[in-house]
Copies of this chain bind each other. A is one copy, B any other.
Amino acid sequence: MGKAAGWLGMRCLTLSTGPKAGAWRRWMSVTPNVRKVEPKRDARYGALTDAHAGALEQLVGGSANVITDEEHLKAYNSCWMNKFHGQSKLVLRPRSTEQVSAVVAYCNEHRLALVPQGGNTGLVGGSVPLFDEIILSLGKMDKIESFDDISGVAVTQAGVVLETLDTFVGERGYRVPLDLGAKGSCQIGGNVATHAGGSRFVKYGSLRNSVLGMEVVTGDGTVIDSLKVLKKDNTGYDLKSLFIGSEGTLGIITQLSIACVKRPHASQVALFACESFDSVKKVLPLARTRLGETLSAIEFMDGAAVQLALKHLHHVEDPMPGEQHPFYVLVEAESAENFVVEQLMDRFVTEAFEAGLAVNGVMSQNDDQKHKMWALRESLPEAVQKSGNATFKYDVSLPMDAFYALVEDTRSRVRGQEGVHCVGWGHIGDGNLHLNLSAPSKGLSELLEPWVYEWVSKHRGSISAEHGLGQMKNHGILYSRTAPELALMRQLKQVFDPNAILNPYKMLPLV
């Protein structure tokens, strides 16, 4: 018995079941009434006149902070995937909270619709206008206000790029508890407004835990100053959590404080090949038991995704050359000390092999090797992009018993379609799957939607684990939330943004 008992015990546990049906009796008891409609410009919004443009230019401090020329506007009117496009004629780049407040108050008075935009790295068109909405870019509010070396709390303007902030606190021995592929362009305000997840969620949890305070401008221009640096504060309702993940529809985040974590000095990365998804599932509780709190990432990739990356991207190296396996798991452990991650990872890897969960694997000996393993994982979106003319991306949460079945069922559904690739990867420690398809043309979407959403809803998942709803999925909110929840959300929108000028046509469904 002793230590061995834990793992022997754990193996049995994989046979256990999820929540009983009883707990779900209300949720999903009926097929949700979901209707996708073509968005039309809402006539309640005023048109941007020259007088408005002039007044707004004054409010942001003159022409240097305004963009109006066609060529320059393009990047603000489109998402990086070139999938969503708007026709905004005006980008405002305020430099202070006061300017943001003045702009919002003006737009509220004149019923001008506004789209707040951070790094514009989102995947659901949340930061791109649909029509002629004015774009309010936070990029010039890029000042790190303060950092406390004892508590690790940073106070920063919303437009600071995630990587810039992480480098800044990194030089002081800390780390931003959030890491994602877009870190070089995305902005911390946008990360918070969209409740970004990423690969370290498994260790540091939600931004609702790390963000201690914020300053927000609500729909009438009111500045809500909740910019505290306290880790605990039980005085009244948690307003800041409402703004986290609200995609700029309740208010525009102008500043925030975030609790950073000590930067670990030591890390170790292992990459396993597994013969079945059942083995992948068993790696997860083993990693939790053996690596404990040092487990900092556990990422799943299917063999088809890895093969796409190796085929289309020259900078990606095959971790196990000459072999093809159906599943791979990348496991990272981090700690204050080298001996901790080395010994814990050794035991974990040994047990994974002894238990037959892994059939082959590599373990990092140096930073270069760690980087290569992560590069493989992070290259997957680009690989899919390169493998076809049209791509279809789904970011879902699923209970573990349904996790990979979605990829398999989707493959069955698209079988016989010429040139289609269907692959899966994701943050398996959080139950977050990225289902990706590529095809020669966009026509495939009819086969996939709403079929994928209905599948996820039926299996009690979320149709958006971390990407949000934006303009792409807002019609589908009832696949994951109930009608009384949606009714409350509409009332909240009314409280925070009575004239609905903030990021219209997004998040909440149009009908």
Contact = CB atoms under 8 A, between A and B. Distances in A.
Nearest to A463: B235
Given A430-B232, A485-B226, A148 B18 contact: yes
A170 interface: no
Interface string A267-291: 0000000000000010011001111
- Copies of this protein in the assembly total 2
Given A145-B23, A222-B484, A233-B465, A151 B335 contact: no
A70 interface: no
A412 interface: no
A482 interface: yes
A137 interface: no
A347 B336 CA distance: 12
Most chain B beta carbons < 10 A, residue from A201, A227, A347: A227
B432 A6 contact: no
A339 B209 CA distance: 30
A231 B173 contact: no
A250 B236 CA distance: 11
A431 B151 contact: yes
A244 interface: yes
A205 interface: yes
Interface in A118-159: 145-153, 155
A108 to B, nearest CB: 15
A235 B468 CA distance: 6
Contacts of A3: 265, 337
Interface stretch (A45-53, A181-189, A491-499): A491-499
A20 interface: yes
Given A6-B173, A464-B233, A239 B485 contact: yes
Interface residues of A, number: 121
Contact of A488 (B224, B285, B400): B224
A49 to B, nearest CB: 31
A116 interface: no
A320 to B, nearest CB: 27
A482 B233 CA distance: 13
A150 B306 CA distance: 26
A400 B150 contact: yes
A230 B397 contact: yes
A228 interface: yes
A500 interface: no
Interface string A25-41: 01100000000000000
Given A150-B13, A209-B206, A234 B462 contact: yes
A244 B238 contact: yes
A62 interface: no
A343 interface: yes
A386 interface: no
Contacts of A226: 481-482, 485
Interface in A431-469: 431-432, 460-469
A229 interface: yes
A486 interface: yes
B242 A264 contact: no
Contact of A239 (B26, B206, B343, B489): B489
A416 interface: no
A151 to B, nearest CB: 6
Given A149-B13, A285-B149, A292-B336, A238 B232 contact: no
Interface in A327-372: 334-337, 339-340, 343-344, 347
Nearest to A250: B237
Given A19-B146, A19-B229, A290-B336, A234 B484 contact: no
Contacts of A489: 236-237, 239
A264 B292 contact: yes
A6 B149 CA distance: 13
A371 B96 CA distance: 53
Given A239-B485, A293-B294, A173 B10 contact: yes
Given A10-B173, A233-B480, A293-B334, 4 more contacts: A6-B265, A203-B293, A225-B482, A235-B481
Please list the 7 inter-chain residue pairs (A to B) with the smallest Cβ-Cβ separation, ordered nearest first.
Answer: A292-B336, A241-B241, A13-B149, A209-B209, A233-B462, A232-B465, A16-B149
